[in-house]
Chain A
Amino acid sequence: MFEKIKHRFRVMRAVAFVTYKEWSAYRTHSMVSIFVGPVYFLVQYYIWSAVYSGESSINGMSLSQMLSYFCATMLINYLTMDFADWNLQMLIRTGKFITFSLRPMNHMFYALSQKAGHRVLGLLFEFIPCFMIFFFIFHIDVLPANLLYAMLSIAMAFMMNFFIHYSIGMVAFWMVQSSSIRNFFSLCEGIFSGSLIPLVFFPKSLQLASFFLPFQYTTFLPAMVYTGSYTLADITLPIPQVLLLQLVAVIIAGIVCRVLYAVSLKHFTGVGA
C-alpha cells in the first residue's frame, strides 16, 4: 500500500515537473496577472471606497475586510485555477484521448498531476508577485489569519476546482461541441463562487443554496478561511468546522467525478489521433 502511494507520488512529481518545464516556455502568460490583478484590484478599490463612503459596515463587512477579501480571492485563484475541462474536451474531440488508453495511468490522475505542475508556475509568477504588490504597494492586509488553516483550505479548493472542471469536461464524451455547457458552468461559477462579490451580499435563500452547490468551496470559503472568519446565511462557523465542511464537499465531488469517469470511459469511441 505504502509502495503504491510512493509510486503514485513519484509519477505525479514527474508529470508535474514536465508540465512545469513545458509551461515555463510560456511563463509570460502567467506574468500577465502581475498587470491584470492589480488593475482589477484598483477598480474594486475605487468601487468599494465609493460604496462605503459614509458607511462603516455593509452586510457585516468593513471596507478593509472587503479589500482583503478581494485580494484573497485573487491570490487563491492563482493557486487553484483550472482548465481541465477545456483540455479534456479538446482531447476527446480530436481523438487524442485514445492515446491515454495505452498509458499505464488513468487520464484523471495525469490531468491532476499536470495541474500541480502548472500551478507551481502560478505560485512563482502570479501569486508571489501579486502578493508583494498588494502587501507593499497597496498596503492591504493579505497575510492569512492562520497559515495552516489557509493552506489546508487552499489545497482542498485546488482539488475541488479540479473535480468540478474535470466533471464538466467529461460532457464532451456525449456532446461533440460542449462549449455551451462549459460556458453555462463558468457563468454559475462566476456568480456563486463569490469571486464577483462576497456571497453575504446575496439574498438569504441563495446564501443557503450555496451550502449545497460546489462553487463556494472553490473561492468564497477559502477566502473567508484566509481572512479568518466565516459567516454565510447568518450561520457563523468556527474555522475548523468550516474546513470539515469543505472536506465533506471535496470528498463528495471526488466520488461523483470518479464515478462519472468510469461511466464516460465506457462511452468513449476513438476515431484516430
Chain B
Amino acid sequence: MKRMYQIYKTCMKANIASAITYRVNFILNSLIMLIGNVLFPLVTVFIYNSNASFEGWTFKEALLIQSVFILSTACAGIFFNGIMWNTMSHVVEGTLEVVLIKPTSSLFLLLARSFEFESIGLLGGGVVMFVYALSGIDGMTIGSWFLFLLLFGAGLLVMFGVALIVAAISFKWVANSRLPEMFESIKSFGRYPGTIFPKAVVAVSSFLFPVSMIAYFPASTLIGRWEAYFFIAIIPCALFAAFGIWLYTYMLRSYKSAGG
C-alpha cells in the first residue's frame, strides 16, 4: 500500500512539473477552464432571464445541479479521465508494453499516470458556482450534506466506470478520438433536473446508465427533494464501476501488440 502511495505521489509530482513547464499556457488553460465552466450554464441563465424556467425549479436550484455536474467532471478530470487518452495513445503507438512490464498493477499505474493537474481550473469554476447556487438553497442539514457526499461519491463511481469502459473499448476500436463523445452525450442527461424527462428516460438514467447520480440526485438531496430510489441507484453505480474495472482488465489481458 505504501509503495502504491509512493508511485502515485511520484506520478502526481511529474504531472505538476510537466504542467508548469509551460507556465503561461498552464495558467491560461486553467483560467479558461474556470471561466468556461462558470459560463457553462449559460443556457440556464438565459432561459431564466427570458422569464421561462424548468417547471418547479428555481434558478439557483437548477444551477446547483449543473455546479455539482462540474464538480464531478473536475474530480474525474483530475484523477482518472486521463486514462482514456493515455490508453488510446499507448494502443495507437504500440507503447503499452512499457507499462505492462512494470512490476506493479498496470491499471493502477495507468491511473496514477492519468493524474491531470490542469483540471484544477475546472474544480475552481465548479466550486465558485456551487457556492453561489447554495446561497439560494434553504433548509440544509448535516444529514442532507452527508447524503449529498454519499451520492456524489456514487456519481464519481459512474464517471470512473465510464472512463474505464471508454478506455477498454479503445483497445478494439483503435484511434477513435471521438469515442468519449458518445458517453459525454449520454452524460448530458444528468446535467438537468430529472423531472423534465419522461419516466422511461429517468428509469434508464437511474438504473441502467446511472448518469442521474452524477449531479441530479446529489443536488436534490441538498435541496431536500430526495426520494428513496436515489439510494437504490447506488447499487447500479457500484456495478457500473465494477464492470468498468472488469472490462478494462479483460481488454488489457487480451491486448496484442504490433510493436512500438
Which residues from chain A sit less than 8 Å from chain B, CB to CB? 26, 28-29, 32, 35-36, 39-40, 43, 46-47, 49-53, 55, 58-59, 175-181, 183-184, 187, 190-191, 196-197, 201-203
Contacts and interface: CB of A to CB of B under 8 A. Distances in A.
Contacts of A197: 42-43, 46
Interface string B159-197: 000000000000001011111011011101100100111
Please give me the 7 A-B residue pairs with the lowest Cβ-Cβ distance, nearest first: A180-B28, A50-B196, A39-B185, A201-B46, A177-B25, A32-B178, A177-B22
Nearest to A25: B175
Contact of B43 (A28, A29, A175, A196): A196
Interface stretch (B47-55, B147-155, B215-223): B47-55
A43 B192 contact: yes
B39 interface: yes
Contacts of A43: 185, 188-189, 192
Given A26-B175, A29-B176, A51-B47, A191 B185 contact: no
A35 B52 contact: no
* Residue picked from B43, B49, B195, B198, most chain A C-beta under 10 Å: B43
Contacts of A181: 28
Interface string B50-86: 1011110000000000000000000000000000000
A21 B42 CA distance: 40
Contacts of A201: 46-47, 49-50
Contact of A53 (B47, B55, B197): B55
A32 B189 contact: no
Contacts, number: 91
B52 A58 contact: yes
11 contacts: A26-B176, A46-B192, A46-B196, A46-B197, A176-B22, A178-B25, A183-B28, A183-B36, A190-B36, A197-B42, A197-B46
Given A46-B198, A180-B28, A180-B29, 17 more contacts: A28-B176, A32-B179, A36-B178, A36-B182, A39-B185, A39-B188, A40-B188, A47-B43, A47-B196, A49-B196, A51-B53, A177-B22, A183-B29, A196-B42, A197-B43, A201-B46, A201-B50
A196 B181 CA distance: 16
What is the size category of the interface that chain B forms with chain A? 35 or more
Given A46-B197, A184-B28, A184-B32, A32 B176 contact: yes
B24 interface: yes
Contacts of A47: 43, 54, 192, 196
Contacts of B197: 46
A183 B25 CA distance: 10
Q: Please classify the interface of chain B as helix (H, G, I), strand (E, B), loop, or mixed, using the class held by over half of its residues.
A: helix
A141 to B, nearest CB: 22
B178 A29 contact: yes
B177 A29 contact: yes
Contact of A180 (B25, B177, B188, B195): B25
B201 interface: yes
B50 A191 contact: no
A181 B42 CA distance: 21
A187 B35 contact: yes
A50 B42 contact: no
A176 B197 CA distance: 46
A187 B28 contact: no
Nearest to B201: A46
A195 to B, nearest CB: 11
Interface in B1-57: 22, 24-26, 28-29, 32-33, 35-36, 39, 42-43, 46-47, 49-50, 52-55
